[in-house]
Amino acid sequence: MFGVSLGMTLLIEGILALILGITKKDITVVLLINTVTNILAVLVSWLAGRADEQLGIIVMFIMEGFAVAVEGYAYKTFNIKAEHLTKDPWLLSLFMNEVSFAIGACIWTPV
């Protein structure tokens, strides 16, 4: 579960970074930051979900907000910009995380 989530996140956000015009050097930073935030978010959400399924869902959304904030801060700190979308690191983080989250939800949600 953890490996699949991390792999899909890195694949989706890496492709998004290329499409949005983030430099190859900066994509390395994006992927490293995503590795840390994904592992933390999935682990904490999974642990909460083991205690209570509804709590796990609530915690998952809280952790998604945490990931957006941490990644936005990192993008600002490392001056990472998307040439084809926005130069605002917070909007970049929000956009990339929500696209990745939506694709993941479509893949994992049963029909």
What is the per-residue pLDDT across 31-68, written as a single tens digit (0 to 9) for each? 999 999 999 999 999 999 999 999 999 999 999 999 99
Per-residue pLDDT tens digits for 87-107: 899 999 999 999 999 998 898
User: In the chain, how long is the greatest CA-to-CA distance?
Assistant: 43
Phi, then psi, of 110 in degrees rounded to 5: -65, 150
| pTM (predicted TM-score) | 0.91
Q: Residue 110's pLDDT is what?
A: 66
What distance in Å separates the CA atoms of residue 36 and residue 73, rounded to the nearest whole number?
Answer: 14
Q: Residue 111's pLDDT is what?
A: 58
Question: Tokens 């015009």 identify what position?
Answer: 21
CA-to-CA separations, 7 to 1, 45, 50, 80, in angstroms, rounded: 10, 17, 22, 22
The pLDDT of residue 2 is above 90: no
What distance in Å separates the CA atoms of residue 91 and residue 40, rounded to the nearest whole number?
Answer: 21
